[in-house]
Amino acid sequence: MTYNESNLTTIIDAQQELIATVADATFALPLESGIRDSVIALMEDPTTSLADIARTISFDPALAVRLLNIINSAFYSLNERITDVTKALQLMGLGAAREVAEGMSLSRLFSLRKTDDPAFSARQEGLWRHSVATGAAAEVIGRKAHISNDIICFTAGFLHDIGKSAMLTLQAAEYNRILNIAKNEKVSLFVVERRVLGYDHAMLGRLLCNLWGQPDEIGVAVGRSHSVRSGAVDQPYSMLAAVTHMADIFARSLGVGWWGDRIMPRLDPAASISLGLSPDDAAELLDEIAEEYKIKMAHMVRYFPVILL
Amino acid sequence: MSTSAQTTNDRNLTVISIEEAAPGMALAEAVYDHNGRMLVSEGAIITTHQQRRMRSHGITHVAIYSAHPPKILPIAQSPEHMPIEDFLKQRQADPFMEALMRAARDRVARLGLLDM
C-alpha cells in the first residue's frame, strides 16, 4: 500500500480493530510509580523549585502539553501565549497542576518495568533511551533553527517511535517476525511493517497522538518522521516534522538505545535545507545533543531511579 | 555512569561526577576550592549556578545523598544492537549526512559511546 496522508482514512478504516485494541490497552495499563508519582511527590515537597518540577514534567510530554493547553485555554483568558511549563505552573498553581498530573501519564506506554521477558524489557528500555535522545536532539535542533518551543520539539522527538513501543507491546509475536525480516533483509523497519501490516509505526504513532489529544502539529511530525513531505498537495510542509526527522538521525548517530533496525534513515535534504542547517553545523550539533541527552538522563536517574532497570 | 558512581557503606551517599550532578540533588558533603574555601555547604541543593561555579573551580566529583542509588545498565547500547562503528559506516550521498557520519565516527573514536 502506498503511504501518504490522503489514504490515511482508508488505513484507519482497515485498522479500526487495532486502534481500538491500542486505545483499550493504553488506558487500561496501570499507572507506574514512575514519572507521575515523582511529579506529585515533588509538588508536595516544599524545598523543590517550580523549575525542578517543570523539568521533571518535560519527561512526560503529554502532561507538559496538556498543562500548556490548559493554561492557554479560554478559561484562563491570558493576554499572552504561555509556552513555558514553569510559567504555566506559576499561573495555574500546583494544586490544579497536580489534578492534571493525577489524571494522566504517557511515559507508562514505554512499559518501563521489569517483565518476565528480559528481551522485551531491554528493547523497551532501549527504545525509551533512543526516544530521550531523539527528544534531546529535537530540542537542540529546534533551538538552532528557531522552531516552535523546547517542549513541543522535545515531545515530537520523544514520541516519534511511540508506535514501535505500542507494536512491541501489543503485537509481540508478529513484531518479532518483523524485526527478524528487517534484520535479515537489511532494510528499515517501516518498510517491513508496511509490507506485513499495511501500515507503519509512524502512522500508528500519529493515530495514538491524535487519540491522546496531542496538538496536531506533534501528530503530523510523528507521522512524517520518515518522509518529511506529506505526499499530498493540500498538506502544508511541517517544520516540526523536519526537526523530528533530523533528530532521529542525530540520535542514531549517537548510538544510544535501541531502535529496532540497522539502517540509518535516508536524510530528506528538504529537512536540512528548510531548517537552514549546513554540513558545517553537524559536529557541533552532535556534541550539543550529547550534552543535552546527558542532562536529561542525569535528571531521570535522580528522580526516577525506580523505572530504570 | 555506573562506572563512576560509588556508594559508600556508612551513609547513604553516592559520589558522582559534576556532569552527572543534576540541579535539585542534595550535597552530602561540603565542597571546597583548592585554597580550602568552602564553595557549597553540606546539605545544599545543587543549582545550575552552583554547578557552573564548582566546575569553574575545577571540581570534578561531588557526593550526593541517595536514597535510591542510581541503577542503570552499564552500557547505553542494547545488547542486540550492531556495533556503533559498523552502523556508522553506512554512506549517503548527501553533504550533510557525510559531515554528520564523519563527526559521529570521530566522536566515537575520541570519546567512545555515551555511558548512560
Is A93 in the same domain as A159?
Answer: no
Residue B27 lies in a domain: yes
Last residue of a domain, one of A103, A127, A143: A103
Residues of A in contact with B24 (CB under 8 A): 48-49, 52, 55, 302-303
B114 to A254: CB separation less than 8 angstroms, yes or no: yes
Is A133 in the same domain as A270?
Answer: yes
Angle CA A27–A29–A32, to nearest 5: 120
Q: Tell me if chain B has a CB within 8 Å of the CB of A51.
A: yes
Q: Does B80 or A141 have the greater pLDDT score?
A: A141
Is A259 in the same domain as A230?
Answer: yes
Contact A102, A40 (CB under 8 A): yes
Residue burial A58-67, b: 16+ Cβ < 10 Å; e: rest? bbbbbbbbbb
Is A67 in the same domain as A197?
Answer: no
Q: Tell me if chain B has a CB within 8 Å of the CB of A245.
A: no
A309 to B103: CB separation less than 8 angstroms, yes or no: no
Domain of A178, CATH number, reads: 1.10.3210.10
Residue A110 lies in a domain: no
* Per-residue confidence band for A54, with pLDDT thresholds at 50, 70 and 90: confident
* Per-residue confidence band for A87, with pLDDT thresholds at 50, 70 and 90: confident
Q: What's at B11, amino acid-wise?
A: R
Contact A121, A309 (CB under 8 A): yes
d(CA A18, CA A24): 10
3-state secondary structure of A169: helix
A123 to B23: CB separation less than 8 angstroms, yes or no: no
pLDDT digits (tens, 9 = 90+) for A68-81: 777 776 666 677 77
ipTM: 0.72
Number of structural domains in chain A: 2
Q: How many CB pairs under 8 A join A and B?
A: 134
Strand-pairing partners, residue A257, are B77
Residue B99 lies in a domain: yes
* Per-residue confidence band for B49, with pLDDT thresholds at 50, 70 and 90: confident
Instruction: Please determine, for residue A16, whether its predicted confidence score (pLDDT) is greater than 70.
Output: no
Is A99 in the same domain as A124?
Answer: no
A293 to B25: CB separation less than 8 angstroms, yes or no: no
Angle CA A29–A33–A37, to nearest 5: 115
Report the residue from B73, B101, B104 with minimal CB separation from A309: B73
Is B82 in the same domain as B60?
Answer: no
Is B18 in the same domain as B43?
Answer: yes
Residues of A in contact with B103 (CB under 8 A): 253, 282-283, 286
Instruction: Please determine, for residue B89, whether its predicted confidence score (pLDDT) is greater than 50.
Output: yes
Other CB atoms within a 10 A radius of the CB of residue A245 amount to 28
Arithmetic mean of pLDDT over chain A: 77
- Could you tell me which chain B residue has the CA closest to the CA of A308? B72
pLDDT of A250 reads 97
B77 to A255: CB separation less than 8 angstroms, yes or no: yes
Report the residue from B1, B78, B113 with minimal CB separation from A301: B1
Residue burial A22-40, b: 16+ Cβ < 10 Å; e: rest? beeebeeeeebebbbbbbb
Region of B18 please: left (phi>0), alpha (psi -120 to 50) or beta: alpha
**pLDDT over 70 percentage in chain B:** 69
Please state which of the ranges A20-34, B22-36, B49-63, B101-115 shows the lowest mean pLDDT.
A20-34
Report the residue from A51, A267, A293 with minimal CB separation from B114: A293
Instruction: Please determine, for residue B9, whether its predicted confidence score (pLDDT) is greater than 60.
Output: no
B77 to A269: CB separation less than 8 angstroms, yes or no: no
CA A129 from chain centre, in angstroms, equals 11
CA–CA distances in Å: residue A156 to residues A35, A94, A238: 18, 25, 12
Residue B93 lies in a domain: yes
Q: What 8-state DSSP symbol labels residue A305?
A: G
Q: What is the mean pLDDT of residues B19-42?
A: 78
Is A40 in the same domain as A24?
Answer: no
Residue B70 lies in a domain: no
Which domain, by its residues, includes A72?
35-103
All three cell numbers of B31, joined, read: 565542597
Which domain, by its residues, includes B13?
6-65
Is A238 in the same domain as A285?
Answer: yes
Is A202 in the same domain as A137?
Answer: yes
Residue burial A71-110, b: 16+ Cβ < 10 Å; e: rest? bbeeeeeeeeebeebbbbbeebebebbbebbeebbbbbbb
CA atoms within 13 A on the CB side of B32: 4
d(CA B19, CA A306): 21
Is A66 in the same domain as A120?
Answer: no
pLDDT of A208 reads 77
Is B58 in the same domain as B25?
Answer: yes
Long-range CB contacts for residues A9-16, cutoff 8 Å, separation at least 24: A11/A198, A11/A199, A11/A203, A12/A207, A14/A198, A15/A198, A15/A199
Is A61 in the same domain as A169?
Answer: no
The model carries a pTM of 0.66
Is A87 in the same domain as A123?
Answer: no
Contact A83, A67 (CB under 8 A): no
Residue B83 lies in a domain: yes
Return the closest-CA partner of residue A164 out of A211, A214, A118, A130.
A130
Is A276 in the same domain as A160?
Answer: yes
Is B81 in the same domain as B61?
Answer: no
Q: Does B18 or A24 have the greater pLDDT score?
A: B18
d(CA B51, CA A11): 51
A258 to B78: CB separation less than 8 angstroms, yes or no: yes
Number of structural domains in chain B: 2
Q: How big is chain A, counted in residues? A: 309
* Per-residue confidence band for A62, with pLDDT thresholds at 50, 70 and 90: low
d(CA A2, CA A108): 32
Is B56 in the same domain as B94?
Answer: no
